[in-house]
Chains A and B, each alone.
Chain A
């Protein structure tokens, strides 16, 4: 019932490659243990743990491909899985653009699994929850959230000699604090190791924000200067990456970068890079084809610089493979899972002090895309939205709806914080600062 070590996962991947009767094969082995303790109303209401190992086989017959996967690891099941992948490849029409599986390239695999994460069991998670809840219950505030640990091993092998593996860990904690006067506060932590988790401080941060946001008031819809805390920026950068930074979207005319490489498309204060090798990053350093994730400068001081690729789209478009493949089969195209925005030189307090009349946003909720090219997004604020008057936070506000182009917003950045934080998002993790943005469109508010 244990997950596999890196060596065990690599051995299994190589064994399944050899089992596959195809011209070529690629095998991804994902193994891990995920645990989560959730709490609400100041008590633990959900406590789960899961171990699983999954094997995915991509069989190649000439220029045809098929994929099959299983979590049954006995010899018969693995053989059936390989046979299903071969059968799928046999049925597939020829794809003359398929360049074949990639050949091995040296991959740097730093140690990123934290020993502390392995020791972070249900009792330790419960103790962290206890500390968070204690900060809230002592102030007659209701706390909700979760404390999670994820231990993951990924190994990839192919019949051309790719053979890589890596173990990663992550710990995440979230705290929502709710008061009976409409106050709502939030704090979160995401890192490779529970040693960075200060549960008391997290509970205090959320509870303090909740008290400060009590009795929220109305705001007229309109255009405002906003200060976005890093967690709010995370959503905007995440969606921009999903919509705009893939070579596929770029080539199909669906990206705001399409036709604009080398041009200034965002504010000069905005530099965005995909960099899995950053010393602060704690994810995988290779993609789902076993290729090294290259550092890709996407936006440099506002200028469109590049997009991410994988082996298929690199060959098809004559670009370098930047190592951003998702697991096959991948109808989405390559995506950046390690996007980060460069820091600025301000603090969040300095950004607030520079605003005469504006809005401060702690984080967003339920963001979605209305128009893909300008990355027009709609969503709500939550857990601490405030009016800024004469450089200070004043009245707490009801949650506000925005309908705003992310491209236009990031072209109107006026300030960037030095401090950045990691957030796990739809696409991997992002590392982002807080931002001061002019011209943000709020289009409604909660009832």
Chain B
């Protein structure tokens, strides 16, 4: 692979590129899905190819192909330069990259039980067991259970002398029970919605979820939602569970802190950011309880790696320190705008995509509360769990989230269940209303394998650590 990678780089340099990198990506995945006792999907796939990225005449060019050979690599190197020269017809300031040391090394993620060596029969049996347990609940009309496994090997080289081989395995899955009656569909999921939870690791990850063991509770809660009261409308104190808070961090901190968005590169598609580079060290993003890190070294997180797709080593960096904005997610190009080096946030969704700034494990650092104490400390509020829906504006200010389930809190006690809870807010106001975060005992890393960004759309595997936290005076029950 090294020969092919450097054939592309050398070919690009020969025709005038002043920077080139090449990535060969060899990926494999498997998905198994069950619904209402029927195996709906058993699917495996693989993808193999090479992408070449260059700077020529001060502009970026990229070309990729599924044909991985010396001849193909040389052709791609020349094509990428051609594309870069066409970019230069509408050029801005010539591209320059922040410094990075060259590395010639390898990195591997954790994996105890190779999930691709576990039989399909065992995977199907696990899912059918969970599915059957959910269908014991008569009000549940649709059940879903899913497992997925993903393995990727990358071979990266650059004209600055790096050659890095990496491989890692991800495993994930989850279950959902849908109670359906008279025009209402009410869903409960475990361990998370939208495909469950994902971690780096092997089959031990999904065994650890104990999907069959949790299935009866999931189904029971879905059924109970049918007769639960609608979420009341108003302004109240809101306690958000770790999984939903992970998505809240994702949408209202992670994305706005991507420096390419701040600089306008994603404006036409997903939007920009309410943040500016001059906010660094100045903006009061949240209360003193809000410290947020971007950490690509968290063991077992799908946001972790050895090096990003520009060859920058994995790092732990602070985005928000006790409420103040102290960092952005950066690339080698964008880091120049804040006079820093890259904190290693560039990743590509395969050989056929350029790297973009992506979240790693962006986490709300834990506080000191227990969840029981936090609820006991709340006179009148709402506790919500598990995301159902998310939406945020093009500057990442106005957000609205819906959750699967909620409970009212009255005089320090969790009381009646409510269905279809949602809440809305404005990002900095919301994070400044945070007055308590639960402790590391409640803190967990949630893997999100479906973060979309860029054109052509790229799906990144990112993660968020979060424990439940409380926010004062939040508007809930919107449009109810």
Binding site for B on A (CB under 8 A): 1, 34, 36-53, 56, 65-73, 81, 84-85, 87-89, 91-93, 95, 97, 121-123, 125-127, 129-130, 133, 142, 144-146, 148, 174-176, 178, 252-254, 258, 329-331, 365-374, 376, 378-380, 382, 399, 401, 403-404, 441, 443-447
Contact = CB atoms under 8 A, between A and B. Distances in A.
Interface in B5-59: 33, 35, 38-49, 59
Interface in B63-79: 63-67, 72, 75-76, 79
A67 B43 contact: yes
Interface stretch (B204-212, B357-365, B384-392, B441-449): B384-392
A69 B83 contact: no
A88 B44 contact: yes
B182 to A, nearest CB: 8
15 contacts: A40-B267, A46-B60, A51-B64, A52-B49, A67-B44, A70-B46, A92-B124, A126-B87, A148-B456, A252-B142, A365-B393, A370-B389, A374-B183, A378-B422, A443-B424
A378 B400 contact: yes
Nearest to A70: B46
Contacts of B142: 252, 254
Contacts of B475: 444
Interface string B367-404: 00000000000000000000011111111011010100
A331 B33 contact: yes
What 3 pairs between A and B have smallest CB-CB spacing? A403-B479, A43-B92, A329-B41
Interface in B136-194: 141-142, 144, 178, 180-181, 183-185
A123 to B, nearest CB: 5
Contact of A40 (B39, B128, B265): B265
Interface in B270-293: 270-271, 274
Nearest to B270: A366
Given A42-B92, A122-B86, A145-B268, 14 more contacts: A36-B456, A38-B265, A44-B59, A44-B87, A46-B455, A48-B64, A49-B83, A67-B41, A69-B46, A91-B120, A126-B86, A144-B268, A331-B41, A378-B389
Contacts of A125: 86
Contacts of B427: 447
Contact of A130 (B90, B268, B388): B90
B38 A95 contact: yes
B184 A373 contact: yes
A288 to B, nearest CB: 14
Nearest to A88: B42
B343 interface: no
A441 B479 contact: yes
Contacts of A126: 86-87, 89-90
B429 interface: yes
B392 A72 contact: no
A366 B354 contact: no
Given A126-B89, A148-B455, A253-B141, A399 B398 contact: yes
Given A45-B265, A88-B43, A373 B398 contact: no
Nearest to B128: A93
Contacts of B178: 254
Contacts of B39: 92-93, 95
Given A122-B82, A380-B394, A404 B120 contact: no
B169 to A, nearest CB: 18
B97 interface: no
Nearest to A252: B142
Contacts of A123: 86, 89
Contacts of A127: 89
Contacts of B422: 370, 378
B100 interface: no
Given A37-B87, A47-B83, A91-B124, A444 B398 contact: yes
B352 interface: yes
A221 to B, nearest CB: 9
B66 A376 contact: no
A91 B122 CA distance: 9
B121 interface: yes
Contacts of A1: 65, 67, 72, 75-76
Interface of B: 33, 35, 38-49, 59-67, 72, 75-76, 79, 82-84, 86-93, 119-121, 124, 128, 141-142, 144, 178, 180-181, 183-185, 263-271, 274, 352-354, 388-395, 397-398, 400, 402, 420, 422, 424, 426-429, 455-456, 475, 478-479
A368 B247 CA distance: 14
B201 to A, nearest CB: 23
A374 to B, nearest CB: 7
Contact of B391 (A44, A51, A89, A378): A378
A87 B43 contact: no
B354 A252 contact: no
A40 B263 CA distance: 9
A36 B398 contact: no
A14 B274 CA distance: 53
A356 B474 CA distance: 34
A382 B394 contact: yes
A368 B193 CA distance: 15
Nearest to A58: B43
A83 B88 CA distance: 47
A331 B32 CA distance: 10
A257 B427 CA distance: 37
Given A93-B124, A382-B394, A71 B66 contact: yes
A201 to B, nearest CB: 17
B354 A46 contact: yes
Nearest to A380: B393
A401 B393 contact: yes
A253 B264 CA distance: 43
Contacts of A443: 400, 424, 478-479
A172 to B, nearest CB: 10
Contact of A401 (B40, B93, B398): B398
A254 B352 CA distance: 37
B45 A92 contact: no
A332 to B, nearest CB: 9
A142 B92 contact: no
A443 B393 CA distance: 13
Contact of B389 (A37, A88, A122, A368): A368
Contacts of A88: 42-44, 120
Nearest to B422: A370
B400 to A, nearest CB: 5
A44 B471 CA distance: 42
A34 B62 CA distance: 12
A175 B424 CA distance: 29
Nearest to A256: B183
A144 B264 contact: yes
Contact of A133 (B62, B90, B180, B398): B90
A253 B41 contact: no
A332 B105 CA distance: 42
Given A380-B394, A401-B400, A329 B59 contact: no
Contact of A372 (B72, B185, B400, B455): B185
A379 B479 CA distance: 12
Contacts of A97: 38
A384 to B, nearest CB: 12
Contacts of B267: 40, 144, 176, 178
Contacts of B428: 447
A329 B393 contact: no
Contacts of B265: 38, 40-41, 45-46, 144
B55 to A, nearest CB: 11
Contacts of A404: 479
Contact of A49 (B47, B62, B90, B266): B62
B420 A142 contact: no
A402 to B, nearest CB: 8
B392 A366 contact: yes
Nearest to B352: A50
